[in-house]
Amino acid sequence: MAYEISGTIKTIFDTQTFPSGFSKREFVITTEDKFPQDIKLECLKEKASLLDSVTEGQAVKVHFDINGREYNGRYFVNLNAWRVEAAAGGEGAPAGNETRRDESPSPEDTTDYSAEDEPPF
């Protein structure tokens, strides 16, 4: 299931590369709710480049998946971003016009997906 969150980029961290060749880049956005929250997300592997075209202080909309796992009796949750785009009316061009890893590009798709509908993937 895919989720999205909007906010302002607070911090973008450097890319971390591990001995196995795996890499990730973390970032924090601050929501614009009544009680703002700082939410840390991460971009894995080639998706780390999505953060190259956004800057701290920029309003963005982030599409992400929630991944949970258990290791040695402890539970971990990661928010894995797969699309980062400038918020409507925000400055700059959209970032990350990449397709999600399990969807194919369909430029002719004009379906209006409202907040109540599930995405078609």
Tokens 């109540």 — which residue? 116
C-alpha separations of 97 from 18, 70, 93 in Å: 27, 32, 10
CA distance 121 to 16: 30
Query: pTM of the prediction?
Result: 0.69
Sign of CA dihedral 27, 87, 91, 99: positive
Q: What is the CATH number of domain 2-86?
A: 2.40.50.140
Return the domain boundaries, the chain. Answer: 2-86
For every one of its 121 residues, what pLDDT tens digit does the chain have, with 9 covering 90 and above? 789 999 999 999 999 999 998 899 999 999 998 999 999 999 999 999 999 989 999 999 999 999 999 999 999 999 999 999 988 765 444 444 444 444 444 445 444 444 445 544 4
Phi-psi region of 20 (alpha: psi -120 to 50; beta: other; left: phi over 0): alpha
